[in-house]
Amino acid sequence: MKKKVLGRRPASAGALRAGRSNLQRSADVKGDLSTNIAGIKLKNPVLVASGTFNCGKEYAELYDIKKLGGIITKAVTAQRRAGNPPPRMAETPAGMLNTVGLQNEGVDYFLRMQLPFLLDQDIPVIANVAGSSVEEYSVVVKKLSRHGGINGIELNVSCPNVHKGGLAFGVDQKALREVVSTVRKDTKLPIIVKLSPNVTDIVSLAKTALQSGADGLSLINTLLGMSIDIRTQQPRLSMTMGGLSGPAIKPVAIRMIYQVYKACKCPIIGMGGIASADDAIEFMLAGSTAVAVGTMNFVDPMLAPHIPEGIKRYLDLHSMNSVKKLVGAVKLSS
């Protein structure tokens, strides 16, 4: 006598065919990772954040940087800057503080000695531009635009404005409007403004940047922080305070990106503590069109090129045919 198997029924031929059909459709799903940030075409949404990748030559010794969606260069200023004196980095729980001080060799050196390597990589290049005055921003942007080969400008407005007593451009509505509108006249390249998170109302500043001519935003820059060595009873950084980055700031970044995307529906490069593909996906669900890996490049130099693979697996698992469908797709409880 045959044993009965509880809860099981013979499958019909039609059900078997339908099952095979569903499996086939699932297997055929191939998530498209290509995206577009403010007019800049990316083959995948993973970039590297300014100040953590220099101009790519060192990392190119470790892996093929063409695996990235694009590169955001270290800050470029009009003239060479030596940066702040050491110590200018300090490790903190789940992050790090830095007060490097925008050390770089200046725009002419960048164009002559660093940009050619990037152009040989056939990868989108977004040049981060910093300055201490509106005039300095303008000089750098004009030179970059005339040279050619650069795909976009990331305007770092967290710099202190020497004409405003050191107040950062990105925390003052009038100064932000002036620098963005001026640079807008200087270039036809996409302008992505990297806003400071050290403000009470990120949405109003985002709107000001967009209304002044920005094509998109980078969120977020570092949070102002401080650390004290209890053995010496002195600050761990030469400049007392510095910018906090790394996983510790991720919840703040997610919150600000969500708020700005909800209010503005604009292109956003999300950054601030991305340490895995899961983190990148979370940033995109909050509203990021693309993401940038920053501090984690120092911890695991091989992380960034593997994140697109993780995003691809997520798209396939959820039967999504494009990474663009992730942007702002967070589901809120009713």
Catalytic residues: 159
Dump the DSSP string for 154-174: EEETTSB-GGGTT-BGGG-HH
d(CA 115, CA 157): 22
- Using alpha carbons, select from 302, 286, 206, 297 the residue that is nearest to residue 253: 286
Helices (H), the chain: 13-28, 107-109, 115-120, 134-147, 173-186, 202-211, 250-264, 277-286, 296-299, 307-317
Dump the DSSP string for 178-210: HHHHHHHHH-SS-EEEE--S-SS-HHHHHHHHH
Q: Residues for the chain: how many in total?
A: 334
For 8, the token pair is 């099981």
Q: Residue 82: which residues within 8 A CB-CB, separation 6 or more?
A: 101, 103
